[in-house]
Amino acid sequence: MKGILFKPDMIAAIDSGQKTMTRRVESCLSDFNDDPNAYNFEKILYSNKLGYSNAFFAPESKTCLLGKRPKYETGDIIYIREPFRVPRDFDSLSPANITAAPIEYKYGGTKNCIGNKILNPGKWRSPLHLPVKFARKFLKITDVRVERLKDISDSDCISEGIKIQKENIEGVWYEKYNSPLKTLVTSDPYESFKTLWQSINGNKSWELDPWVFIYEFERCNKDGQPIEETPLASCHNN
């Protein structure tokens, strides 16, 4: 099973049901994104022979199609990689060599133990090292699309999990992520998403306007069954 990384506030937005999609600039698109304007996206096709999909692009100067495989496919079950730790007695072991242990997650919550903290906690471990057997959050990919980054719609900006700072009779106000103290707001979801993207990927990435894969998803359990219940408040800590 493949894993995926998110920032803590994006995990909270997933838990609340607000974030239902993510845009990714994947390495397989790097050739196209050296000059995004030189290519046109055509379509995504699934090959029964290959067993996976390809996104096809047409270079402006040629008549051929070039295919790139998205990291995730529609129907895939993936898990969210989180920072974690286990008891100190296991610190010398890699996660692959730990068959079972109480687990504490950095942004709140535990697994295989009672309470919100584990006893004798060990070192914090990178989310990159979280194996699927220690995962607690799973997503089912419901759709895969391709578009240029700046073509995002207002509704997609909201579905990307931008934070609502306040609502009043004047409307809804979203966070501007380039504010040092996160005190600035905007009524424009597009502007909010722009600053969110820049805070994660840098200003240059936004100006490049790269081709991105868009993965839509729903929360599920490890077997792919949808999750409807309200998540615990402890999972929303940043």
Global pTM reads 0.90
- The predicted-structure confidence for 152-186, as pLDDT tens digits, reads as follows 999 999 999 999 998 887 889 999 998 877 778 99
238 within a domain of the structure (yes/no):
no
**What is the identity of the amino acid at 33?**
N
Residues 109 and 172 reside in one and the same domain: no
Among 134, 150, 175, the domain boundary falls at: 134
211 within a domain of the structure (yes/no):
yes
Residues 98 and 29 reside in one and the same domain: no
88 and 120 Cβ atoms separated by less than 8 Å: yes
Integer Rg of the chain from CA: 20
Q: Exposed, middle or buried: residue 105 (CB in 10 Å: 0-12, 13-18, 19+)?
A: buried
Tracing tokens 């615990």 back to the chain, one arrives at: 232
pLDDT higher than threshold 70 for residue 232: no
Residues 70 and 156 reside in one and the same domain: yes
Other C-beta atoms within 10 Å of 53: how many? 18
Residues 40 and 57 reside in one and the same domain: yes
**Confidence category of residue 50, pLDDT binned at 50, 70, 90:** confident
Residues 24 and 94 reside in one and the same domain: no
Positions of E strands within the chain: 3-5, 21-24, 39-47, 52-59, 66-68, 77-81, 84-85, 103-105, 110-111, 138-148, 164-168, 171-175, 185-186, 211-220
Among 118, 134, 150, the domain boundary falls at: 134
| DSSP states of 60-126 | TT-S--EEE--SS-TT-EEEEE--EE-BGGGTTS-GGG--S--EEETTS-EESSSSSS-SSB---B-
**What is the identity of the amino acid at 149?**
L
| Selected residue with higher pLDDT from 63 and 75 | 75
Domain that holds residue 97: 83-134
Residues 108 and 209 reside in one and the same domain: no
| Selected residue with higher pLDDT from 110 and 233 | 110
Residues 201 and 153 reside in one and the same domain: yes
234 within a domain of the structure (yes/no):
no
d(CA 149, CA 30) in angstroms, rounded, equals 14
71 within a domain of the structure (yes/no):
yes
- The predicted-structure confidence for 81-131, as pLDDT tens digits, reads as follows 999 999 999 999 999 999 999 999 999 999 998 888 999 999 999 999 999
Tracing tokens 């996206």 back to the chain, one arrives at: 41
Residue-level pLDDT at 229 = 58
120 within a domain of the structure (yes/no):
yes
Residues 68 and 154 reside in one and the same domain: yes
Residue-level pLDDT at 51 = 87
Residues 142 and 210 reside in one and the same domain: yes
74 within a domain of the structure (yes/no):
yes
Among 134, 150, 167, the domain boundary falls at: 134
Residues 88 and 181 reside in one and the same domain: no
- The predicted-structure confidence for 177-227, as pLDDT tens digits, reads as follows 988 777 789 999 999 999 999 999 999 999 999 999 999 999 999 999 998
Residue-level pLDDT at 94 = 96
Residues 112 and 201 reside in one and the same domain: no
Number of domains forming the structure of the chain: 2
Residue-level pLDDT at 230 = 54
235 within a domain of the structure (yes/no):
no
Containing 134, the helix (H) or strand (E) segment is none
Residues 41 and 112 reside in one and the same domain: no
